[in-house]
Amino acid sequence: MLRVLTYHRVADQADSLTLSPRLISATPDNFREQVAYLARNYDVVSMAEVLDALQHWRRLSPRSVLITFDDAYADFKETAWPILREHRLPATLFVPTAYPDHPDRGFWWDRLWRAIMGTSQSVVRGRQMEVRIASPEERRMGLQTLHTHIKRLPHAQAMAFVDRICEFCVESPTGLRAVLNWDELRELVREGVTLGAHTRTHPILTRMPLWKARMEIRGSQDDLHQQIGKVSPIFCYPNGAYNESILRVMRDEGFLLSLTTEDGFNNLSSADSLRLRRINITPRTTLAIFRLRLLWLGTCANAWRHRVQRLAGALSSP
């Protein structure tokens, strides 16, 4: 049985003045506790060991854990990796390859957060929607509303909408990079980190034409080959979005393993290796909750909680 942990950023809220705190998975102190607990109680495996088990039908330890990070934020190298290295634990980092060496490019959710939190405007309007952002609480709620709306749009339309909001709010450039550069990524590889493809520009693949989705998928792997050399045939779906057409592309492009955002454990003898489940870690994941999430009972409880939330949302919708 394989547990796959999902992290994005390890940082304190106070260190996120220019980046959205939305993707902070843990504070450095909480992450240090979680890593120490894993080192004492579980078998943390590398991506190479997981691929070997898949390809040669080898059984992993029933207490196996794979640690993954999405988006290649700079704080992985600054904060998370030193903690992992101290405990000699491997990790896999999924890279959206259009961002390294391009500090002028920012993830849309970070740009949106800076624009909304820094503007003097009190209302943002779009087609058939109006979001009030006069107070700090309204801005937090407004960001949530905007995120939900943007993720439902076709990709090109969504990015144009983000651009309009940032222009209206007068987005201020930070001059700071969010993502690791290629030299840093190569250094991490030399130190034992596994890199994986995460598209080029981090689109929701199911919200764009299939030929463009294929270019994003193939292009990210090509970029890694060009910049790093030989890399594993692994992938992580941005926002966890995939469908049968995307799965066919993944098979056509020769990927052996892909990760979703669906919650749960993986029995490698029966699981679809292009749809592996993960356990998402958030700032609400205290050490007690972390320990529970690693148990089968915790996964069942979390699945039940998500079903209740989906049912409540369906009942409350008009």
How do residues 157-186 score in pLDDT, each as one tens digit?
Answer: 999 999 999 999 887 766 678 899 999 999
| Residues 209-229, mean pLDDT to the nearest whole number | 97
pLDDT at 307 over 70: no
What's the pLDDT at 103?
A: 86
| Residues 36-58, mean pLDDT to the nearest whole number | 95
What's the pLDDT at 310?
A: 45
Tell me the torsion sign for CA atoms 309, 310, 315, 317: positive
**Residue 32 and residue 35: Cα distance in Å, rounded?**
5
| All residues at 6 or more sequence positions from 61 whose CB lies less than 8 Å from its CB, including other chains | 43, 45
Across 102-116, 181-195, 207-221, least confident range: 102-116
What's the pLDDT at 13?
A: 79
| Residues 72-77, mean pLDDT to the nearest whole number | 96
pLDDT at 272 over 90: yes
| All residues at 6 or more sequence positions from 212 whose CB lies less than 8 Å from its CB, including other chains | 155, 203
**pTM, 2 dp:** 0.91
Terminal CA-CA length for the chain: 41
What's the pLDDT at 277?
A: 97
Q: Tokens 């909001």 label which residue?
A: 165
What's the pLDDT at 318?
A: 39
**Residue 238 and residue 181: Cα distance in Å, rounded?**
20
- Output the average pLDDT for the chain: 90
What's the pLDDT at 138?
A: 92
pLDDT at 29 over 50: yes
Of 108 and 172, the structure prediction assigns the larger pLDDT to 108
| All residues at 6 or more sequence positions from 222 whose CB lies less than 8 Å from its CB, including other chains | none
pLDDT at 188 over 90: yes
Highest mean pLDDT range out of 18-32, 126-140, 195-209, 283-297? 195-209
Could you give all domains of the chain from N- to C-terminal order, each with its CATH number? 2-102+178-316 (3.20.20.370), 108-169 (no CATH)
Q: How many CB atoms lie within 10 A of CB 191?
A: 10
Query: For residue 99, which of 206, 202, 26, 7 has the smallest C-alpha distance?
Result: 202
**Residue 159 and residue 207: Cα distance in Å, rounded?**
11
pLDDT at 309 over 50: no
| Residues 83-95, mean pLDDT to the nearest whole number | 98
How do residues 220-258 score in pLDDT, each as one tens digit?
Answer: 999 999 999 999 999 999 999 999 999 999 999 999 999
What's the pLDDT at 14?
A: 63
pLDDT tier at 315, thresholds 50, 70, 90: very low
